[in-house]
Amino acid sequence: MQGNALIGQSGGPTAVINSTLCGLVQQAEKSKNIQNIYGMRYGIEGFMKDEVSDLGSESPSVIQGLRSTPSSALGSCRYKVQDKDFPLILDQLKKYNIRYFFLIGGNDTMDTIHRVEKYCQDNNYELCGIGLPKTVDNDLYGTDHTPGYPSAARYVALSTQQSSRLAADMQRVDRYVIHQTVGRESGFLAAAAGLAKQHDSDGPHLIYMPERKLNKETFIKDATSIIEANGWVSIICGEGILWEDGTPVSASNTADKFSNIEFGAMGGSSAAMNLHKILSDETGYRGEFQITESLSMCGIDRASKIDLEEAYGCGVKAMELADNNETGIMVTLVRPTEGPYKTNYGTAPLMDVAVKAKPMPDEFINEAGNFVTPAFIDYLKPLVGDLGTFSVLQHQAAKAQ
């Protein structure tokens, strides 16, 4: 099938999403089936407004530089495609003779490409539609992990390691620190903070994930008991954690275009802020809260090396699948069942991936629901890499002269 390729990026950015774009463009340039390579400006929303760029006209050095460029070079959107949009989308595909359609994104993005590809089939327009995974939440079905997650996990782990060191040294001033991560329904990113804990006294001490509902009294008891025993406490929470009655700890009532509750700055409230206030009111202690929001989604200086390589490889794999006339699928990462970690690529049907969210497996969360298990550390460690260690003074008592 001869024609042009169209590439888009949707949803939140990652440190490595442009590495995927680079792999896809460079592999498409080798394809005998691709005549021109186009990019959507600001996702499917921009495409419907005829905002299309010619990626083939970019210099090779610029395309290569995408491998180490964070955020979304094409621009992104969070537009939910409506049934009324499909005739316009099809007209645009025909206008630019698009026969190869690629979207890089998460759950909602996979829903978009699945619906576009199906609409084209139903209307006798030959189109190859392939999704490329991306999300720091790590909640896509069908893949061991998603490009973007290892780098964001590394960012969280390093931030926790460093902020916990600060909190330990400042415990006579601030007795607790609460760090909020992104993750609406999935606790994978909050859980990544567990990599920072190398000794029992190290932070984090408590990790609260959306997969486990929180009891206010238990939270206060857990935190205060650690302060009494340790002098301070480091707490990590996912933005989407819920109380036992199902209400958000953030107390947010704001929803996005996909009917998802908005957390953090977008929701005008915060789980970390509310937990901070609860501890302050209960204990009278000073403390800090940290809400990084999108910083973990674009921290190229902390990117995981394996993440950068796998993201690029997903782009290459997607084009190889397209050249083999495969469609209606998403590229996946497959972990070997035995032996050391190595990267393998596979596929999953878009209809199985679209919209659904993958929670953390039960075996990754401890029985108390406030920390991760060794199984999770084993899962994440090869993806993130070494975090390094800090020196700790022994504080041997000085002798009076």
Domain residue ranges in the chain = 3-137+301-353, 149-300+359-384
Of 213, 216, 206, nearest to 281 by C-alpha is: 216
d(CA 112, CA 139): 17
Quick check: do 3-137+301-353 and 149-300+359-384 share a fold?
A: yes
Residue with structure tokens 């490409």? 113
Residue 311 has pLDDT above 80, yes or no: yes
Average pLDDT over residues 313-337: 97
Alpha carbon separation from 372 to 56, 94, 201, 227, 380 (Å, rounded)? 46, 50, 16, 20, 11
Average pLDDT over residues 20-48: 97
What is the structure's pLDDT at 71? 94
Handedness of CA 257, 261, 267, 272 (dihedral sign): negative
What is the structure's pLDDT at 258? 53
What is the structure's pLDDT at 292? 83
Class level of CATH domain 149-300+359-384: alpha beta
What is the structure's pLDDT at 254? 56
**Which pTM does this prediction carry?**
0.94
Residues with Cβ within 8 Å of 319's Cβ and at least 6 positions away in sequence, in order, are 23, 24, 27, 28, 30, 31
Residue 259 has pLDDT above 90, yes or no: no
204: cis peptide before it, omega within 30°? Answer: yes
Q: Supply the residues annotated as catalytic.
A: 137
d(CA 307, CA 304): 5
What is the structure's pLDDT at 294? 87
Task: Report whether CATH 3.40.50.450 matches the domain 3-137+301-353.
Answer: yes
d(CA 102, CA 253): 34
